Structures are given as structure tokens and as C-alpha cells.
Amino acid sequence: MFLLSLKSLKGKFILLMAVVIAAIIVCAVLSDKEPSSDEPVTDVNAIDYSASTQTEQLEFIAQLGYTVNTEPDSVEEVIIPEEFDDLYTQYNEMQKQADLDLSRYKGCNAKKWTYTVTDYPGYENRDCIKINLLVYSGRIIGGDICSVELDGFMNPLV
């Protein structure tokens, strides 16, 4: 005959649950949790690439340290090509210098917003310096700062 005392099991079960709960609490308090790739990393100096509105675009440009005319010079629909030619490959290499990569957006439609920079060092109060922002789904995915003069230049955003 087999006899089992429920009172004895109930006490042991409660004790076991208390130990498990205490262990979970200790682990939660002591863990140095690394953020997963889905969690945003908060950094005071991090650049916000949001560009859903024109105001967010102007705030992004201000984060880079530039002042622009508040109205864009142009807004164009562009298609990031499925296959990059040499010119687009070079342009994407420049994007990578700013921790951006257009290869993730091959075949996508984006908008190119162009603003005139009014305070670019050495070109203050001239209208030849432009900033181009490539925007996809409310985020800046690429762009450049360039001079439209004959002997101009093109630099990454950051």
C-alpha cells in the first residue's frame, strides 16, 4: 500500500516556488541586459533619421550643424536601381561613410528632398551648396551635401 501526505507536498511545493521566484528576481536585478536588435539604443549624441515631415527633415539637418532655407528647392520621386552601375556603386560607398547603405533599398521608390544650405563653411550666404535627403518610409536612407558650382564637390551627410 502506498500512502502520500498532501500536507507534506504542499509545503515543499510552496518552498520550491519561493526559491524559484527569488532566483528570478535576483537574476533580473543583477543582469546586465544588452539591448536586442529590435530595441532602440538611447544615445544622447545619436542622430535621429526620422523624416516623416518637413519639420523632422529640418531637425535632421540642424543635427548635422547646418541651416537651410525652410522650403525645399525640389522634391522628386526617385527609384533606387535594382542593379547598381559604377556611378551608383560609388555613391553608395559614400553613403556607407555616413553609416547608411542604399543596397537594402534596391528597387524601392524614395523621395529626394533638396534644400539650399545657407551656412556651409566658406560658402556662407551663397546659394550653391545643396543638401539632398533620400527619404523612404519616413526615414532618411541616404543623401549628400554638394556644391552645384562647375568645380563643385559632393560629400556624405555625416
Section 142-154 average pLDDT: 95
Count structural domains, the chain. Answer: 1
Total residue length of the chain: 158
Q: What is the pLDDT of residue 81?
A: 96
DSSP 133-152: EEEETTEEEEEEEEE-STT-
Local structure of 157: helix, strand or coil: coil
Range of the domain at 106: 54-156
Spatial distance between the Cα atoms of 32 and 39, rounded to a whole number of angstroms: 15
Question: Which triple of cell numbers denotes residue 114?
Answer: 533638396
Quick: pLDDT tens for 79-115: 999 999 999 999 999 999 999 999 999 999 999 999 9
Look at residue 133 and tell me if it is in a domain: yes
User: What pLDDT, on the 0 to 100 scale, is given for residue 126?
Assistant: 86
42 pLDDT band (50/70/90 cuts)? very low
Task: Label residue 124 by pLDDT band (50, 70, 90).
Answer: confident
Tell whether 21 is covered by a domain: no
Residue with cell 520550491: 16
d(CA 72, CA 115): 5
Look at residue 49 and tell me if it is in a domain.
Answer: no
Decide if 16 is inside a domain.
no
Q: What percent of the chain has pLDDT over 90?
A: 66
The model's pTM is: 0.71
Helices (H), 31-141: 54-63, 86-97
Q: Is 82 contained in some domain?
A: yes
